[in-house]
């Protein structure tokens, strides 16, 4: 009987752990910078943390982001200016599309 109780308790704990982690959902941020040759780097800032994205033909994507508000910082190549997009919201398991971001000279 003790063995059966131990097995049942272990199964309940494992079930709670598995279902507890299914609630964690991650989102993302995507966008496209024009002109593509005008961008040197794209970074995502959240508090004191900074993430950098790979850029392909001006397009960038940040994945596996927790729900929250972020700042996107774009470093431009000369003669283009740097750009900042404040208050970018990421919601539970959705991707925020910033669309086309035009760099100014």
- Structure-block tokens of residue 94: 């959705």
The whole-chain average pLDDT of the chain stands at 87
Evaluate if residue 25 carries a pLDDT over 90.
no
Whether residue 16 is predicted with pLDDT greater than 90 in this model: the reply is no
Q: Is 80 exceeded by the pLDDT of residue 53?
A: yes
Measured distance CA(85)–CA(65) in Å, rounded: 17
Q: Prior bond to 23 cis, omega within 30?
A: no
Answer whether 0.85 is exceeded by the pTM. Answer: no
Q: What is the CATH number of domain 26-102?
A: 2.60.40.10
Domain coordinates in residue numbering, the chain: 26-102
Confidence band for 3, pLDDT divided at 50, 70 and 90:
confident
What's the rounded mean pLDDT across residues 44-54? 92
Phi, then psi, of 71 in degrees rounded to 5:
-120, 130
* 82: helix, strand or coil: coil
User: Pairing between strand 83-90 and 39-46?
Assistant: unpaired
């Amino acid at each position: 009987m003790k063995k059966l109780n131990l097995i049942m308790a272990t199964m309940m704990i494992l079930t709670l752990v598995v279902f507890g982690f299914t609630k964690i959902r991650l989102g993302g941020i995507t966008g496209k910078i024009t002109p593509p040759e005008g961008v040197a780097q794209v970074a995502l800032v959240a508090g004191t943390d900074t993430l950098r994205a790979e850029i392909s033909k001006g397009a960038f994507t940040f994945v596996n982001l927790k729900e929250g508000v972020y700042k996107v910082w774009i470093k431009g190549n000369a003669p283009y200016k740097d750009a900042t997009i404040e208050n970018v919201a990421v919601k539970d398991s959705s991707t925020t599309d910033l669309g086309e971001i035009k760099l100014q000279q």
